[in-house]
Amino acid sequence: MTSRKSDVPIPKLAGVCGWPIHHSLSPVLHNYWLKAAGISGAYIPFAVRPDNAVAAFQSLKYTSISGVNVTLPLKRQAFLAADDHTPDALKLGVSNCLFKRDGKLIGHNTDLEGFATPLLSKIAASELSQSSVLLIGAGGASRAVIGALLSLNVPEIKIANRTDSKAESLAESVNLPSLYAVPWESRNAAVASSQVIINASSAGMSGYSDLDLDLETARPGTLVYDLIYTPRRTGLLKEAERRGCETLGGLSMLIEQARPSFRHFFGEAPPKDLDPTETLYAALKSGVR
């Protein structure tokens, strides 16, 4: 009796790594897309200790896992673990995505694309190339924001951070005259001359105080982009709406940075015609991950 090969595809496995990782919405998002696209696979969270992260990531080459997303505080370790890097990962020196190609572990970063795609849905590249941007925050998210803004030819980027030395250090690391630090005490004065205001800090996140930024001098139509998505409408976005500003929340970035990862992990792009926003917010509201 001859055996018949099954026509059922072998399920693909991917996931997200962090420490801690219970808060991640990525499994909800990727599994939503898998189900919608009818792809046989699963996406699960992996808790990875920072002191063992490089070795853990390198072991991916010897497993059936097709790739992982990487969240804080492991993005630098993911970069170090990779055999090769994409240009976007090299720009930032960190990786939020690892996938396998020709037996090698590739370090990638989707934050540049994830940040820029929602931004360009609100303001044209031609307008950005004539805009001044005020960026709040000097951490890893700010580096991705700066990389995207520079690639879009933004002529002026002002960085303000509660600790002035961190903003100054970030500006010095880029070393461009069009990008400079603004003292924290001068942040409100910088609002009036900014066409785009971006919050890349943790201020305003659930459990944290609202961002201490006065939008009184913001011109109507100014775009306020808050990378935070919990809560859905931060205090900053509420105040921006009250002032007649355009607003953009952080969930758009989460969704867009996940799209290229999904393609690397599962071999096809996620469905473009299905918006996962309400599914993600329902998960946040219920506490289900």
Q: Which of 12, 75, 91, 158 is catalytic?
A: 75
The whole-angstrom separation of Cα 92 and Cα 246 is 28
Is 75 among the residues known to form the active site?
yes
In one letter, which amino acid is 130?
A: Q
CB atoms within 10 A of CB 24: 18
- Where do the H-state alpha helices sit in 139-208? 140-151, 164-174, 187-191
DSSP structure string for 235-284: HHHHHHHHTT-EEE-THHHHHHHHHHHHHHHHSSPPPTT---HHHHHHHH
Torsion of CA 252, 253, 258, 261, to 10 degrees: 150
Q: Which sequence positions are flagged as catalytic?
A: 75
